Structure 1
Amino acid sequence: MNLRAHTYDLIIDPLLAGLKKSVKENIPAGVSVIDVACGTGSLALSVASVAVKVTGIDLDNSLIDFAVRRAIKRKVYNAEFLVKDAACLQEYGERQFGVAVTSMAIHQFEEDLAISILKEMKRIAGKVIIADYNFPMPPGFSQEVAYVIERFAGGDHYRNFRNYMSKGGLEWFAGSAGLRIRPLVSKVNRIFTVVDCI
């Protein structure tokens, strides 16, 4: 297992368990789901219990390999994991999926790329659910921890996170992609938010 997958599996995934549960609770039973920037596949595998089929995509081959092994180990047979560029999903037709989800990904992308990804999600799914940092983030210990984690990710990741926050978070990015945010789904610890978009 590579260091990145190991770090996500042992530290990041458990920290985000409540956030991912909130995403799952807002997915109708029996739909097809695409999980964009799926990482280790933890959200996709959780969603597989309510979805007819889940497709997880990520550009990181090592994370996809980890997700495939995790699905086999857990005997989840309605999930597939593919190395794909989320900004370029021409092989999928309009509204091919019932729901497109992404968790803790939009803040890490360069602005134009994030908007392109959200536009593709809107095109290929009837409903888009996004989980990411809340804006504004309430001051305090949790905010400080979030900033330390993002700073630790370094370089472009931290720069993109700061841009995400300066723009106004998901509301600005979703609006720039032509998505309309429905009333707030939930805030987890007020640091994270889950939004339902059309």
Structure 2
Amino acid sequence: MENKNHWYDGKFYDIFVAPNQDAAFKNVLKLIGNESVVLDAGCGTGRFTRHIIENCKRIDAIDLSERNIKIAKKNFPEEKYPNVKFHHKGIETFLADTDTRYDFALMSYVIHEVGEKHRINILKQLAERCEYIILVDYLIPRPKGMMNFLNGIVEFVAGKEHYTNFKSYERNNGLHGLIESAGLTLESEILNNPPTSHIVKVRK
């Protein structure tokens, strides 16, 4: 099994990184219907699960970081939350191992760290199994200001490979470029709310 731990994964991520996505997740909640079956692809320590757990019929949450998944399982023990399953798997491996169809898939601040060709393939695979895909990531072109400056620093310190893929994401027009390259249809979008973010709802 592939394991991809960043230096910041685990407890550090859960305490200092994951809460920064709460504002975006509040907007995502408005796009997801009650009793939905949801795939959280790149779930981290399960922060999004905290927002939707009471409204969803089922949540499958996957991440390549073993440290993140261990924290997520502690945060949401299976005996207390039977409608949530956390899996230490990549997207392609997980989809190959299940025949479940999903109402929604979410990728929050994940796609920009994936290699250029790989990210398009991932979106195409998700589109075959999910009615809708919701992507949350950086708004491109990047708005000027302190928040944008801090985002750049965060991406740089995440590591060489991570930063290279982030710059590729930026160079290829961010989410709009990805949607076009993957042949997906844009249903709706939220721009710069919260600041520097881009939220899109797409389908095949």
State the TM-score, normalizing by the size of structure 1.
0.92
Q: 1:90-110 CA deviation, whole Å, 9 max, x = no partner? A: 2333x7111111100000111
Moved more, 177-186 or 126-135: 177-186
User: Does the CA contact (< 8 Å) of 2:62 and 2:91 recur in 1?
Assistant: yes
Aligned position for 1:105: 110
| TM superposition shift of 1:155 | 0.7
User: Does the CA contact (< 8 Å) of 1:185 and 1:196 recur in 2?
Assistant: no
Aligned position for 1:65: 70
Q: 1:29-78 CA deviation, whole Å, 9 max, x = no partner? A: 11100000111111133222211000001111221111111112994331
Which contiguous aligned blocks of 4+ residues in structure 1 show a shift greater than 4 angstroms? Answer: none
What is the root-mean-square deviation of aligned Cα atoms in Å? 1.9
Moved more, 58-67 or 154-163: 58-67
Aligned position for 1:38: 43
| TM superposition shift of 1:86 | 0.7
Gap regions ≥5 residues in structure 2: 1-6
Q: Distance in 2 between matches of 1:74 and 1:45?
A: 16
Aligned position for 2:134: 129
Cα 1:185/1:129, change in 2 over 3 Å: same
Q: Distance in 2 between matches of 1:50 and 1:9?
A: 22
Aligned position for 2:56: 51
| TM superposition shift of 1:190 | 3.3
| TM superposition shift of 1:153 | 0.3
User: Does the CA contact (< 8 Å) of 2:78 and 2:84 recur in 1?
Assistant: no
Q: 1:138-166 CA deviation, whole Å, 9 max, x = no partner? A: 11101000000000102100000011001
User: Does the CA contact (< 8 Å) of 2:147 and 2:195 recur in 1?
Assistant: no
1:87 aligns to what SS in structure 2? helix
Q: Distance in 2 between matches of 1:4 and 1:87?
A: 21
| TM superposition shift of 1:182 | 1.8
Q: Distance in 1 between matches of 2:176 and 2:16?
A: 28
| 1:191 matches 2:196 | yes
Q: 1:112-171 CA deviation, whole Å, 9 max, x = no partner? A: 121121112111110111111111111110100000000010210000001100100011
1:7 aligns to what SS in structure 2? helix
User: Does the CA contact (< 8 Å) of 1:53 and 1:79 recur in 2?
Assistant: yes
Gap regions ≥5 residues in structure 1: none
Among residues 75, 79, 88, which one is paired with 1:83 in the alignment?
88
Q: Distance in 2 between matches of 1:64 and 1:52?
A: 21
Aligned 1:145-184 pairs, distance under 5 A: 145-184=150-189
Q: Distance in 1 between matches of 2:176 and 2:37?
A: 25
State the TM-score, normalizing by the size of structure 2.
0.89
